[in-house]
Structure 1
Amino acid sequence: MTSKTTLEQIAKAAGVSLSTVDRVINRRGGVSPKAEAKVLEWASRLNLDRRIFRSHLKSLRIAILMQSPHNPFYRALRDAFSDLNVSQAELRMTAFLHYIDVNDPAGTGRKIDEAASSYDGLIIICQNDPRLSDALRLHSASLPIVTLVTDIPDCGRLAYVGADNRQMGRVVGELMGRFVGNDGGELLIVLGMQGMLGHEEREMGFRTVLRERFPRCRIVASLESGENPDRAGEVVAAALTEHPEVRGIYNVSSGNVAIARTMQAMGLAQRVTMITHELTASRRQLLRDGILDAVIDQNPRLEAARALEVLARHFRRGNHGSIGPHHTPFDIFIRENCPSVDPSA
């Protein structure tokens, strides 16, 4: 197929002249935004050679606001976005990472304002704080927004991309009830931040399944680490001292190594069932050692790709067909199926 024939196909499908298509392709100007959008849409719909039109697209800047990559999950997300900048270069969408402190919503609000003035799109992972929801809603008319991993429903976002956190919590509830057994017992929940909607939804799913199927399992404390791994160990140590009969711990977020050290120091590592999220190198070892009993693992690479696909669709780039559900799948790992290497690598 020749380039000329290809341009004629685009013109016919879009209902515009060949010269209009040529002006769009070669960025000569003089085309209305509506006509330009139609040309680009039909070029993509017809699945024509990417080199014919994508190399002439405006380069879009996408801001990624998330926690520091000191957390292994966010490190995996950082690497995923970096890889996608290379593997999806033809989309002309470049992700720029900016790190936020989840304990500083005012600082996060300023970064949202900066993104609105300097970027074409925003992917964000932050707490469901009314101030941040208001800031996002304020800019959502001009700035397409995708919430990732944890949702902020009332912020004007295009979509939430990530695992179904309530379902993951329900799965943990089912596993905990079965592992603890018919006699039940006292349980602890350790949240990263109550304000992270994903953490709240996990707790809700967990509590619901226990109430429905395992009424002898009793949650005696719901703790909060503030996303500080060391603090997670400290609050668990205090809770285990106050409740020495605890038989299960559900850690919703980070701090598993610190919690494991606490359990070992108190001689509880083999007596207390512990379930958490995200299969990192340290958690694989804790699984093999029998300190962790199960890990619910999501796929940060898939989540990063889906988030960018939502924005690509918004900007009429890439494949306009189905990109699959915005809820991404998750896996359950126990000692017997624990991989020897990072499954997302």
Structure 2
Amino acid sequence: MTKKTSLEDIAKAAGVSIATVDRVVNQRGGVSPKSEAKVLEWASRLNLDRKIFRPTLKSLRIAVLLPLAKNPFFAALRDAFVALDGGSNAAQIRIYIHTFDPIDTRAAARKIDLVAAEYDGIIVCCPDHQDTSDAATRASHRIPVVTLVADLPASGRLAYVGPDNRQIGRVAGELMGRFLGPQGGKVLVMLGHHRISGHMEREMGFRAIARERFPNIEILDVAESDEDSNRAAQIAQNALHNDPDICGIYNVSAGNYKIAQTLIKLGRAEEVVFISHELTPKRCAMLKSGLLDAVIDQNPRMEARQAIDVLAHHFKRIEDRQVPDPFTPFEIFLRENCPNLT
């Protein structure tokens, strides 16, 4: 006859008191998320039926730090987390969104410090700067930190969730090289900020593939738009005016619509290969009209879901499962496979 698992068995295995196990199993509260996770883990390993008490577990409070939603991608990411807040009840996770100005890294660091004292875990999407990395390191000493879309690799974070940005840049370079053909030509590369590690890695990947496979591509000095659409359009206009031989634009950040309008105004829309990121209804329309040649899209809904799953798994709120690939997939959209977005 199989011995029935006791609270004493779980307490001994988890390294906590019997009283702590009792509080978790009988929903009495007063247990830290870290200790609770240990109890849940060993309850599962020792075959205690956690379904009895899981629905009434204390809600975990997770802070999500996102840049101000000037960029359509970050607006979509925010919306994805808002939708998940109502759909994460199985793991008893509540999501609280905080925003910051990505240019002001000191303010972003202060925001990380502030929320680290108030929440059970943090999901951070911010530039890899010494200020933000140090703040994330301080937070990781207290609670689990997940970096999202842009990594802070030196922060001690629990995990990174997002695309392989260097690979994305290589794919953009491959597309540009194939669109331009053997003759190659001059290409303008535009970032939002060099300090955003994802932008920098995409530029590095783009340069690497051009150097390896398309030596006839000449990459001009990289420009920064500060994530400002008007500035992006002005940079494109000045570059095209000063150098009429530009035949390609790779825009890593915001401003695609206004850049396209600039190309139309200068009569260059059909001559310049234009590649960017993140599919939106407006960019889908630009693809279908030929103003954009390719869009490389990461899935913000998938990224938000995986970031929450990482924390739910860490706190033993979901069953053990195979650890997913650290990088989330991305898709390439051309005119012919662009979906109807509204």
Q: TM-score, normalised on structure 1?
A: 0.90
Q: 1:309 to 1:32 in 2, by over 3 A?
A: closer
Partner of residue 190, structure 1: 190
Percent of pairs with identical residues? 52
Query: Tell me, what secondary structure is at the counterpart of 1:119?
Result: coil
- Over aligned residue pairs, what C-alpha RMSD do you find? 2.5
Q: Tell me, yes or no, if the aligned pair for 1:25 and 1:56 is still in contact at 8 Å.
A: no
Q: 1:299 to 1:288 in 2, by over 3 A?
A: same
Q: 1:85 to 1:50 in 2, by over 3 A?
A: farther
Q: Tell me, yes or no, if the aligned pair for 1:277 and 1:297 is still in contact at 8 Å.
A: yes
Q: 1:48 to 1:283 in 2, by over 3 A?
A: farther
Alignment of 1:311-330 (within 5 A): 311-330=311-330
Q: 1:33 to 1:151 in 2, by over 3 A?
A: closer
Matched, 1:14 2:13: no
Tell me the CA shift for residue 227 of structure 1: 0.8
Tell me the CA shift for residue 90 of structure 1: 2.2
Partner of residue 161, structure 1: 161
Q: Tell me, yes or no, if the aligned pair for 1:77 and 1:301 is still in contact at 8 Å.
A: yes
Deviation string, structure 1 residues 191-219 (Cα, Å, up to 9, x no partner) = 01100000000000000000000000001
Deviation string, structure 1 residues 17-50 (Cα, Å, up to 9, x no partner) = 9987554222347989987544311445689876
Query: Gaps (5+ residues) in structure 1?
Result: 1-6
Matched, 1:91 2:99: no
Alignment of 1:1-345 (within 5 A): 8-9=4-5, 11=7, 14=10, 22-28=22-28, 36-44=36-44, 51-341=51-341
Tell me the CA shift for residue 133 of structure 1: 0.9
Tell me the CA shift for residue 221 of structure 1: 2.4
The one-letter amino acid of 2:200's match is E
Tell me the CA shift for residue 341 of structure 1: 2.3
Deviation string, structure 1 residues 33-71 (Cα, Å, up to 9, x no partner) = 987544311445689876522233222211111122342
Q: Partners in 1 of 2:103 and 2:191 — Cα distance?
A: 14
Q: 1:35 to 1:218 in 2, by over 3 A?
A: closer
Query: Gaps (5+ residues) in structure 2?
Result: none
Q: TM-score, normalised on structure 2?
A: 0.91
Query: Tell me, what secondary structure is at the counterpart of 1:295?
Result: strand
Q: Tell me, yes or no, if the aligned pair for 2:62 and 2:94 is still in contact at 8 Å.
A: yes
The one-letter amino acid of 1:72's match is P
